[in-house]
Amino acid sequence: MSSLEIFGPVACVYGYDSVDEAVALSNAVPYSFQASVFTKEWEKAFNIGRQLNASAVMVNESSTFRVDW
């Protein structure tokens, strides 16, 4: 599991057995500036987005989006 967010073009990929486990893994780092949710189910995407402790949550987009532009 990651312990710190990396500043750079890096994507950490982990397996999970449930959405709750995926959210818990994502929220386990002390800082989280951006997160992405990929799904065709919009209601699920918004529910997951509300659970993530991130400054910005993209739906079906990568973290190449930057809020400081």
Q: How far apart, in whole angstroms, are the C-alpha atoms of residue 35 and residue 22?
A: 12
Residue 50 lies in a domain: yes
Residue 11 lies in a domain: no
pLDDT at 22: 92
Residue 55 lies in a domain: yes
Residue 29 lies in a domain: no
pLDDT at 14: 82
Residue 21 lies in a domain: no
Q: How far apart, in whole angstroms, are the C-alpha atoms of residue 18 and residue 29?
A: 18
Residue 51 lies in a domain: yes
pLDDT at 34: 83
Number of domains in the chain: 1
Residue 58 lies in a domain: yes
- Domain that includes residue 51, residue range: 40-64
CA atoms within 13 A on the CB side of 24: 7
Digits of tens for pLDDT over the chain (69 positions)? 666 666 776 767 788 999 999 999 989 888 778 888 999 999 999 999 999 998 889 899 876 666 565
